[in-house]
C-alpha cells in the first residue's frame, strides 16, 4: 500500500475528549505536546513528503513525540536533521481548560 496524503480521520470533539480523558485516567504525566506550524510546515515541505509520522519517545524521563516526514511508499525521509522534537509539553503550557486537556 501507499500513502496518499489523506490518512487519518477527523472525529467529533466528544470522542476526542473521551479518548484524552482515558489517557489522563491511566496516570500519564503528560497530556500533550505542541509543535509550531513553521516547523511542521518545514517537515511537510520536505521533497517527496506525503505526511508526518509521529514516534512515541522518552526525553530526559518525559514522554514526547519525534516527528519525521514520510513518503508515499511509507518510508521516513531521513536527512541530517531527520526529525522534529523539543515539543512544548502540556502541562506546563496547556492553554485554557478544554475537553482535550482537562
pLDDT in tens, 7-38: 999 999 999 999 999 999 998 888 888 889 99
Question: In sequence order, what DSSP letters do the residues of 9-35 get, joined into one string?
Answer: ----HHHHHHHHHHHHHTT-S--EEE-
pTM confidence score: 0.82
Spatial separation of the C-alpha atoms in residues 51 and 26, rounded to whole Å? 29
- Domain ranges across the chain: 30-90
Q: Is the backbone peptide bond immediately before 91 cis, with ω within 30 degrees of 0? A: yes
pLDDT in tens, 51-97: 999 998 888 888 888 899 999 999 999 876 667 777 787 888 888 88
Amino acid at each position: 500500500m501507499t500513502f496518499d496524503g489523506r490518512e487519518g480521520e477527523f472525529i467529533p470533539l466528544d470522542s476526542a475528549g473521551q479518548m484524552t480523558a482515558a489517557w489522563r485516567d491511566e496516570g500519564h504525566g503528560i497530556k500533550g505536546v505542541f509543535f509550531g506550524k513553521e516547523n511542521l510546515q518545514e517537515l511537510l515541505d520536505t521533497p517527496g513528503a506525503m505526511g508526518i509520522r509521529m514516534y512515541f519517545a522518552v526525553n530526559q524521563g518525559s514522554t514526547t513525540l519525534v516527528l519525521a516526514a514520510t513518503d508515499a511508499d511509507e518510508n521516513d525521509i531521513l536527512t541530517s536533521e531527520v526529525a522534529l522534537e523539543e515539543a512544548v509539553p502540556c502541562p506546563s503550557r496547556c492553554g485554557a481548560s478544554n475537553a482535550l486537556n482537562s
